[in-house]
A = this chain, B = another copy of it.
Amino acid sequence: MSVHRGPHAAEAVFRPVRPRNAFEETVERLLQAIRLGVVAPGERLPAERDLAARLAVSRVTLRDAIRAVADAGYVESRRGRYGGTFVADDLPASPRPRRRAPLPGADIEDVLTLRRVLETGAAQAAAARSLSPSDRQHLRVRLTDVAGVAAGEEAEYRRLDSRLHLAIAEVTASPSLTSAVADVRTKVNELLDAIPLLAVNIGHSNDQHHTVVEAILSGDAQTARVAMAEHLEGTEALLRGFL
């Protein structure tokens, strides 16, 4: 049975344990936090001892990772009390498409399928819960944030858009669903970085965001799912254009 035809259960279960080494994975996490807007420009990362404990990584490894990310211009460390590691106010641009890897189509479909499942599911699950006032507030704030981005600010839009989508996952109160959405979102962003810049229709996207959040806040699970599905189709079409 070849790898591309027929079932893949063995591939799914016997996939690599620990895909990268600790240093590389730690770097990825830091970049993920910055790119998804979990820690905004100007904000401080958790203290090294705290963060190392959360990531279950030694402080040495974390510091190596922080140095790598600092060398790339994403963060800056300050010593002393009330010091810390702070996210740069203006982030480095993502590496432009080098076109070295021709973006295997199978991988794109894989990621898009997973994203559709996770994000439409998250929207539905969020709408099906009875949200706390702070959850509702959180959603509204993130919606407003992304709606306030000026046209042309692609990178900024990407970050706040991710942050809103992540917020939707958060209010499902399922940590593992939230983590899964964060991961798949990171992968989609990497794909988007690899294709030539094509301005997304931000206005249309914001309308869709509004519809999704409204449906979630009013507890309309079916509408939330469908609106999210429509919203995702934009990026899907964009990426499929580069198979």
When the two chains form their complex, are residues B15 and A18 in contact, meaning their CB atoms are under 8 A apart? no
Q: Mark A43-83, 1 if CB is under 8 A from B, else 0.
A: 00010000100111100000000000000000000000000
User: What secondary structure prevails in chain A residues at the interface with B?
Assistant: helix
A114 touches which of B5, B109, B180 (Cβ 8 Å): B180
Give the distance in Å from the alpha carbon of A145 to the alpha carbon of B176 in the complex: 31
Within 8 A of B (CB), among A82-126: 109-111, 113-114, 116-118, 120-122, 124-125
When the two chains form their complex, are residues B125 and A17 in contact, meaning their CB atoms are under 8 A apart? no
Given A7-B135, A111-B176, 12 other A-B residues pairs in contact with their CB atoms under 8 A = A6-B134, A6-B135, A7-B171, A9-B166, A10-B33, A12-B169, A12-B175, A18-B25, A116-B121, A117-B118, A117-B121, A120-B121
Contacts of A175 on B, CB cut-off 8 Å?
A: 8, 11-12, 15, 110
Give the distance in Å from the alpha carbon of A36 to the alpha carbon of B174 in the complex: 24
Chain B proximity of A47: nearest CB distance (Å): 12
Give the distance in Å from the alpha carbon of A166 to the alpha carbon of B56 in the complex: 31
Give the distance in Å from the alpha carbon of A10 to the alpha carbon of B32 in the complex: 11
When the two chains form their complex, are residues B13 and A33 in contact, meaning their CB atoms are under 8 A apart? yes
Could you give 23 example pairs across A and B, Cβ below 8 Å? A5-B132, A7-B171, A9-B167, A12-B169, A12-B170, A12-B181, A13-B29, A13-B32, A13-B38, A14-B33, A16-B55, A16-B56, A17-B25, A17-B55, A17-B57, A18-B22, A18-B56, A110-B175, A113-B125, A113-B177, A117-B125, A121-B121, A180-B180
Q: Which residues does A use to contact B, with CB under 8 Å? A: 5-19, 22, 25-26, 29, 32-33, 36, 38-39, 46, 51, 54-57, 109-111, 113-114, 116-118, 120-122, 124-125, 132, 134-135, 138, 163, 166-167, 169-182, 184
When the two chains form their complex, are residues A177 and B25 in contact, meaning their CB atoms are under 8 A apart? no
When the two chains form their complex, are residues A17 and B116 in contact, meaning their CB atoms are under 8 A apart? no
Closest to A15 in B: B179
Chain B proximity of A3: nearest CB distance (Å): 10
Chain B proximity of A233: nearest CB distance (Å): 13
